[in-house]
A and B are shown apart, each in its own frame.
Chain A
Amino acid sequence: MRLLAALGALCAGLFVAALMIGPAQIGIAESFRGLLAGDGAAGLVMREIRLPRAVLAALIGGCLGLSGAAMQGYLRNPLAEPGLIGVSAAAALGAVIAIQTGFAAAFALALPLSALAAALLAVLLILFMAGPGGGSLALILAGVAVSAFAGALTSLVLNLSPNPFAASEFVFWMMGSLADRSWLHVVIAAPVMAVGAAMMWGIGRGLDALTLGEDAAASIGIGLPGLRLRIVLGVAAMVGAATSVAGAIGFVGLVVPHLLRGRVGGRPGALLPAAALGGAAMVLAADIAVRLVLPGRDLKLGVVMALIGAPVFLHLIWQQRRGG
């Protein structure tokens, strides 16, 4: 409980910082006035530009952290992360197809739902190829294949677009960015994210039990098919919605559970809420970093996350090699 409170406070602090930092120099007092009163140019910047961006950063981070913790708990493998195993890349493909075919404009939730569908296919494929206990090698290799395939198709669809801007947007879809996102994106992504997060409600016990392996978990009354269904749908919904509006942001679901696992005594159930809050904090921090390091240049979030995440990833592989 103390950990969750601390993480919540960290999120709140970073959220306020995200609102205060931006390319337009607005004083702190004026920022708060703009945020609360909402009038004038400062009000517009605070309420329509920075606030939705910060909200989206927190939601996306929470979803990615939670998805990582849930997948790791289910697969009993600390390397299972939506970005690494191709779920994010598949979601990006779904979003790109929906946008370029015009399906995304058909109804409000068409974009996140298309990304969800593609993410779902990827999750199912990964579970089929490298199900629980399938080992890190099978998991990562299957992830490499899914990522490469989804990435290639995304590139193809973008290249076929008659819009020359779209044709050059592969980097955005593979690295992710929150630049110029608005309430429009919050409104379409949040409901799908909420449904995904709701699916995760109460899976903690099941994940805890899975520590003992599937047979033992089943013998203490855990319904594994139901647990699997909830994780598959929940992860697909959360990663799909997040990716459809911000592109694929990797490593969040890897780094955050890794950093917090020790703090919750290793219990995968207790890790879920902590990883959600930690993910929100991490993406808020990364989005602040991209605005501080290269203001106005739209440095991709994935760049910052990879700089933090890749060494953690290597460390985890090293630990597994030593059998730790």
Chain B
Amino acid sequence: MRISAESLTVRRGGRVTLDGASLSLAPGELVGLIGPNGAGKTTLMRAMLGLVAASGHSSLAQLPAARRAHIAAWLPQEREAAWPISVEALVRLGRIPHRRPDADHAQVERALSRMGLTDLRQRPVNTLSGGERARVLIARALAQDTPVLLADEPIAGLDPAYQIATMALFRGLAQDGRAVMASLHDLGLAARHCTRLVLMDRGRIAFDGPPQDALSPERLARIFGIEAHLEMTAEGPVFQPLRVLR
């Protein structure tokens, strides 16, 4: 399902945190949302979902909450799991919108195995490590089984193997016909796995296009204040930040 946003603007206490953002997200895409801290990445995704009041238009936000939960899953940055419930029970929370007990089990199992959690299923989530907990929460979002997935820094705090695996998983979801958008700070993983990058700067979308174009030396200098090495290889783009410019 294709979702779109037009001129989304969010004001918080007189400050404009998102300024006229327009973009669309189509099935088959894995869009990386990049930009420095405070650029408005989280606000953009929350505004698209209707979780924060915004002016402008968002195809997701205008849906009733119950309907929206069937279309889009949201993985917040805060890795909250308040009670000592089991991994399996937490992943099952993703099935709340569906009310389809027959399909629940299979979806939960699939999400568990995709995130490598089958051995941990009985563990209370408060006994997990930070990375394990992050995987459990991703599995929860996967269990929601929606055509659209928005994830806020899903790979922060994961070890390299799980970072790569998660990006590959997202790419796989996109290839299955879903639309995935994730905010990322690792520009290398973003360049390598995403089909498209959306670059944000001070509440505005500064660039929206193919990864290799997004990470031009001029933009890296102006928006991120860094110099980096980007090379197209047979394995795909390889990106390495080198130094801070300011």
Contacts and interface: CB of A to CB of B under 8 A. Distances in A.
Interface of A: 76, 205, 208-213, 215-216, 218-223, 261-262, 265-268, 324
Contacts of B69: 219-221
Contact of B96 (A209, A215, A268, A324): A209
Contacts of A268: 82-83
A20 B124 CA distance: 43
A212 to B, nearest CB: 6
Q: Which 10 A-B pairs have the closest CB atoms?
A: A221-B69, A219-B74, A213-B80, A76-B82, A266-B85, A266-B83, A221-B66, A266-B84, A215-B76, A221-B97
Contacts of A208: 93, 96
Q: How large is the interface on B (under 10, 10 to 19, 20 to 34, 35 or more residues)?
A: 20 to 34
Contacts, number: 83
A76 B80 CA distance: 10
Contacts of A218: 51, 65
Contact of B85 (A205, A215, A223, A265): A265
Query: Taking each of A215, A219, A266, A268, which has the highest tally of chain B beta carbons within 10 Å of its own beta carbon?
Result: A219
Query: Taking each of A209, A221, A267, A268, which has the highest tally of chain B beta carbons within 10 Å of its own beta carbon?
Result: A221
Contacts of A210: 82
Contact of A215 (B51, B70, B97): B51
Interface in B133-163: 137, 140, 144
B74 A215 contact: yes
Contact of B65 (A205, A211, A222): A222
Given A210-B82, A221-B65, A265 B76 contact: no
Interface of B: 46, 49, 51, 65-66, 68-70, 72-76, 78, 80-86, 89-90, 93-94, 96-97, 124, 126, 137, 140, 144
B49 to A, nearest CB: 6
Given A220-B93, A220-B94, A211 B85 contact: yes
Given A212-B90, A215-B76, A216-B75, 19 more contacts: A208-B93, A212-B76, A212-B137, A213-B82, A215-B46, A216-B140, A218-B51, A219-B68, A219-B72, A219-B73, A219-B74, A220-B73, A220-B93, A221-B68, A221-B70, A222-B96, A265-B86, A266-B83, A267-B83
B12 to A, nearest CB: 15
B83 A211 contact: yes
25 contacts: A205-B96, A208-B96, A209-B96, A211-B80, A211-B81, A211-B85, A211-B93, A213-B76, A215-B74, A215-B78, A216-B80, A218-B51, A218-B65, A219-B72, A219-B74, A220-B73, A220-B96, A221-B65, A221-B96, A221-B97, A223-B65, A261-B83, A266-B83, A267-B83, A267-B89
A67 B154 CA distance: 35
Contacts of B94: 220
Given A212-B80, A215-B46, A266-B124, A220 B97 contact: yes
A96 to B, nearest CB: 36
Query: Taking each of B73, B81, B83, B97, which has the highest tally of chain A beta carbons within 10 Å of its own beta carbon?
Result: B83
B90 A211 contact: yes
B144 A220 contact: yes
A265 B86 CA distance: 7
Nearest to A76: B82
Contact of B74 (A216, A222, A262, A266): A216
Contacts of B72: 219
A218 B74 CA distance: 9
Contacts of B90: 211-212
A141 B69 CA distance: 37
Nearest to A224: B65
A50 to B, nearest CB: 39
A268 B80 CA distance: 15
Query: Taking each of B70, B78, B85, B137, which has the highest tally of chain A beta carbons within 10 Å of its own beta carbon?
Result: B85
Contacts of A76: 80, 82-83
A135 B22 CA distance: 37
A209 B141 CA distance: 12
Contacts of A216: 74-76, 80, 140
Nearest to B72: A219
Contacts of B89: 265-267
A203 B25 CA distance: 34
A255 B76 CA distance: 32
B144 to A, nearest CB: 7
Given A219-B72, A267-B83, A213 B78 contact: yes
